[in-house]
Amino acid sequence: MRVIAWNVVLTVLILLVALAGHEAYLRWTIGPMQEGTLYEYTLKSKRYKLMKPNAHARSYGADVRTNDLGFRDVRASIPPKQPGEYRIIVIGDSITFGPGLEYSQLYTTLLEAALRGSHPEVRVINLSVEGYNIIEYEAVLEEVGLGLQPDMVLVGMFPVNDFDMTDYDTHRRLAAGGAVHVPWYLSLYVYRAYLHRVPELAGKALARVLPAKEVHGPDRGWQENTAALEKIAAIAHERKLLLGVLLLPHTKGFETQRKVYFAPVTAFCQAEQLNCFDLLADFQRLGLRDGGMVLNAIDPHPNQQYNRLIAAELVPYVSAMLPPATATPEPAPVKAPEPSVRPKPDVSASL
């Protein structure tokens, strides 16, 4: 028994040393997740969570700067709209915000550069914030976006969690002066890279054994976020703005996303006659490797390749929505394969 006990202790010690060594390796090769503080919480905004104006931080070594409105930018401020300028605002969450990427690598920046090759009057403004859902997108449009005099609004929807209320409720709690406990192990790189799968697998195993929980009434997250999307569509219609809804895929689990998250959103888009662009369908059609575009070993956010592909796919989609007076037959600088399904835009008003 004593020999067995010593073997167990030795095995545990070796495992701990290996984990500590790998933790050090990941931190050395990947770098700090975030240096500096970007966010503040307030009850003065329906968003509750805001980025600080004129702030500077670093995310995995990439520079993150905000303008005087508190949105990611390389400029100190957004200049007034010029005569003849065609302004597109993009509202989204971390997928559009781009943690770990330079501003020049974001799909919104790449999209503007590609469109301006044939439409020099186009400007694309990124109004995304990490952790937002559609309720907060709608608040961004009302509080900031409309004041920028846009001609087109693109909603960078992330169906995997844009109908979830967890982060939104946390933002409201922090804005009200509450505290949120973050488990210590979430700061471990080895946990984020590998060990997080242990509770996930355990949860799936328990779900197969335990009886399913009864659901009482409709899902609050789905109700409130679809209502916010309808409000965005109503605002766009009232202001005669073109509206496009981008269904942005996660970097992992393409087939699961298709069945669980994208299917109900696509059905909602069809029922509400929204101009939704399913980019997951294009990713699958292009044969992209599932999980091949993650930012790094501990963070599954999109990398630079993902943003390049999204920008390339959006060029024909957005070009088709531009008014005839500004569109030209010249090909876009970014060559992109035709999307598998191209929604027909309503250029008279919103969708």
Per-residue model confidence (pLDDT) at position 208: 62
Per-residue model confidence (pLDDT) at position 185: 82
C-alpha closest to that of 144 among 74, 213, 257, 45:
45
DSSP H helices in the chain: 2-30, 94-97, 107-115, 134-143, 166-175, 189-190, 197-209, 220-239, 254-256, 263-272, 279-285, 304-321
pLDDT tens digits along 7-39: 778 888 888 888 888 788 888 888 899 899 999
Cα gap 229→214, rounded to integer Å: 27
Q: Is 36 left (phi over 0), alpha (psi -120 to 50) or beta?
A: left
The sign of the torsion formed by the CA atoms of 20, 22, 23, 29 equals positive
For residues 318-345, give the mean pLDDT.
Answer: 56
R_g of the chain computed on alpha carbons = 22
Per-residue model confidence (pLDDT) at position 210: 64
For residues 81-92, give the mean pLDDT.
Answer: 97
Burial class (CB in 10 A: 0-12, 13-18, 19+), 252: middle
Domain ranges, ordered by start, for the chain: 1-30, 34-210+217-321
Cβ(91)–Cβ(136) below 8 Å: no
Q: Is the pLDDT of residue 332 over 70?
A: no
Cα gap 218→223, rounded to integer Å: 7
Q: Is the pLDDT of residue 351 over 60?
A: no
Per-residue model confidence (pLDDT) at position 310: 98
Per-residue model confidence (pLDDT) at position 344: 40
Could you tell me the fold of the domain covering 34-210+217-321?
Rossmann fold (3.40.50)
Cα gap 154→92, rounded to integer Å: 9
Per-residue model confidence (pLDDT) at position 129: 98
Cα gap 173→195, rounded to integer Å: 29
Phi, psi dihedrals of residue 306, rounded to the nearest 5°? -55, -45
pLDDT tens digits along 211-237: 655 544 569 999 999 999 999 999 999
pLDDT tens digits along 114-160: 999 989 999 999 999 999 999 999 999 999 999 999 999 999 999 99
Q: How many Cα atoms within 13 Å fall on the side-chain side of residue 165?
A: 12
Q: Find the range with the poorest average confidence among 170-174, 284-288, 324-328.
A: 324-328
Per-residue model confidence (pLDDT) at position 182: 80
Per-residue model confidence (pLDDT) at position 68: 97
Higher pLDDT, 351 or 191: 191
C-alpha closest to that of 97 among 156, 167, 32, 30:
156
pLDDT tens digits along 246-281: 999 999 999 999 999 999 999 999 999 999 999 999
- Please report which confidence band the pLDDT of residue 330 belongs to, taking 50, 70 and 90 as the band edges: very low
